[in-house]
Amino acid sequence: MRTRVHLNEGSDYEDTPGAHSDFDYDELARRLGEQHEIEPSDYAKLATAIRALNEWLLQGDLSTPKATERIGRKLIALCWVVNPGMFNGISLTQLSRQLGTHVPIMSQFTAEVRRRFGICNSSQAHGWNFKSEAPQ
């Protein structure tokens, strides 16, 4: 049984005895016909996706002095595209400043994520200069 706990932070409710509740989400999903068993083919698809992400993250010369910084920036760019909430919803410009890097570098990586994996967040929707394919 999967149990979720929810506390309404910053309220008096948090201090109330029994303020969290146990709920059988698995049983609810089963009753609604939404329970999904993971098939071996699902794991194969997941492995393919992870492999593609790792290939993208690690592409380039790993022996260069700044290779680890590039990989880290690409990983952060990927996370920002997938879920900007992981960074409290800040803009790419603000994120770049926090990282101490230039905005065009992070913008290049986020555009690569969008092009290569087809993932886009609402902050990227205004990208007037986005090209669906990299220039040849």
The pLDDT assigned to 13 comes to 41
What's the CA gap between 78 and 108, in Å, rounded? 11
The pLDDT assigned to 33 comes to 77
| 13, 7 contact by CB (below 8 A) | yes
The pLDDT assigned to 22 comes to 76
Tens digits of pLDDT across the chain (136 residues): 444 444 334 444 444 455 456 788 778 877 887 767 778 888 899 999 999 999 999 999 999 999 999 999 999 999 999 999 999 989 999 999 999 999 999 999 999 999 999 888 888 766 555 566 555 5
The crossing angle, in degrees rounded to 10, of helices 103-117 and 67-82 is 60
Supply the pTM of this predicted model. Answer: 0.66
The pLDDT assigned to 2 comes to 42
The pLDDT assigned to 18 comes to 52
Q: Which sequence spans correspond to the domains of the chain?
A: 1-36, 41-124
Structure tokens at 3: 């149990």
